Amino acid sequence: MRFMKLVLVAALTAAPAMTFAQTTAPEQPRNPIVKREFNQQRRIGNGMRSGRLTARQDVRLERQQRSIHRQFRAMRARHNGRLTMRERRMIYHRQNIASRRIFRAKHHNRRIG
């Protein structure tokens, strides 16, 4: 009986510590394309929260991100989860354009000085 109490106390004190150690910030994806999508989505969300993006700009940027993601998924589906170098460059190019548009939308009509 005494051993059971000891095991129970040890389990109750160790369980919260283990769950606390496991809950960290959301893990970012390892794939650079998916990671960049994640960051751009975050930038759009931050722009909306800060009021730098209008609802119309937000919808347009989200639509563009959705289009890039659909193209990415379709390309991966064609090659069993892999992208060719040409397809990867095409996705990077579209993401560069989207990133530029996000920046310009967030800083539109903002004069410094």
pTM, rounded to two decimals: 0.68
- Rounded to the nearest 10 degrees, the angle between the axes of helix 55-78 and helix 85-106 is 170
Chain position carrying tokens 């090659």? 79
DSSP H or E segment with residue 66: helix 55-78
Q: Which two tokens stand for residue 10?
A: 């040890």
Percentage of the chain modeled with pLDDT above 90? 65
Residue 13 · residue 44 · CB < 8 Å: no
Whole-number Å distance between alpha carbons of 44 and 100: 12
pLDDT in tens, 2-40: 766 666 666 666 656 555 555 555 666 688 999 999 999
Which amino acid is residue 104, in one-letter code?
R
